Amino acid sequence: MGVKAKKAMTKNLKKASAQFSAPKEKTLDFLPLEGGPARDLPKTEDRDNKATVLYIGRIPHGFYEDEMEAFFKQFGSIKRLRIARNRKTGKSKHFGFIEFESPEVAKIVEECMHNYLMYEHLLQVRSVPSERVHPKLWKGVTRRYKPLDRVQIERKHHDKVRAVERTLEQQQKLIEGIVKRDQKRRKRIEDAGIDYQCPEIVGCIQVAPKKIRFDTE
């Protein structure tokens, strides 16, 4: 065997060994216990790190807009903040939303403040992905809540009730309308062929007192 043939043989042997040997740079993550070829674990995608809106639940009483803004400002600049409130009473629903300027700050706040004990309440802090933020979430966020003056509301209600004093003519007109509607209702019942005796309206119609004439002899 010549020199050229030996060199070609060694070259082919090296090529074959390189094909069957795994690359040194790549290390496989999973090796089955029962034997078989090693394989990589499926890589899971990370969550949306661009989320800047956080949901805050179980907000204790007294921890409102001003207190919340002053507390979370230590992490970074706040863009918007809103606490859900009852439209009628204005009381807090104990959950809200806060938006930071930076997504990194929002991630830090979520990691630090989730299950944070505050006034016997464990805060629930979760990031809200950008695609799940409702377009009306920040509606009216610039209008801060003003406590209702219950004394003023009751005073207006009391004055309104006292001011509504019907005259005799207004009361008579009101009763005539009630009687007219009752007659229409009776007629509809009779036209439908229903045998029903409607109760009479008693003691509602007021009659103006007649003038007493005194004849002088």
Task: Give the domain CATH number at 100.
Answer: 3.30.70.330
Range of the domain at 88: 53-132
In-domain check, residue 101: yes
Is 110 within the bounds of a domain? yes
pLDDT band at 76 (very low <50, low <70, confident <90, very high): very high
Q: Which two tokens stand for residue 87?
A: 């439209």
Q: Which two tokens stand for residue 58?
A: 């179980």
- Percent of the chain exceeding pLDDT 70 equals 65
**Does residue 171 fall inside a structural domain?**
yes
pLDDT, one tens digit per residue, over 114-164 is: 999 998 899 999 999 988 998 888 887 877 666 677 788 888 877 776 656
In-domain check, residue 22: no
Residues 140, 144, 145: CA angle, nearest 5 degrees: 105
Which secondary-structure segment (H or E) carries 113?
helix 103-113
Residue 142 lies in a domain: no
**Is 115:87 a contact under the CB 8 Å cutoff?**
no
In contact, 93 and 85? CB cutoff 8 Å = yes
> Does the pLDDT of residue 9 top 90, yes or no?
no
Rounded to the nearest angstrom, the gap between the alpha carbon of residue 60 and the centroid of all alpha carbons in its chain is: 17
**Residue 118 forms beta bridges with which residues?**
121
Q: What percentage of the chain has pLDDT greater than the value 90?
A: 29
CA angle 26, 31, 33 (to 5 degrees): 165
Q: Among residues 143, 50, 66, 63, which one has the least CA distance to residue 99?
A: 50
Domain-ending residue, one of 108, 132, 156:
132
Q: Is residue 169 part of a domain?
A: yes
User: Total structural domains in the chain?
Assistant: 2
Q: Which of 110, 132, 154 is the last residue before a domain boundary?
A: 132
In a domain, 12, yes or no: no
Q: Is residue 88 part of a domain?
A: yes
Are 127 and 169 contained in the same domain? Answer: no
- Model pTM score: 0.48
Which range of 7-16, 30-39, 56-65, 195-204 scores highest in mean pLDDT? It is 56-65
Same domain membership, residue 174 and residue 126: no
pLDDT, the chain, mean? 77
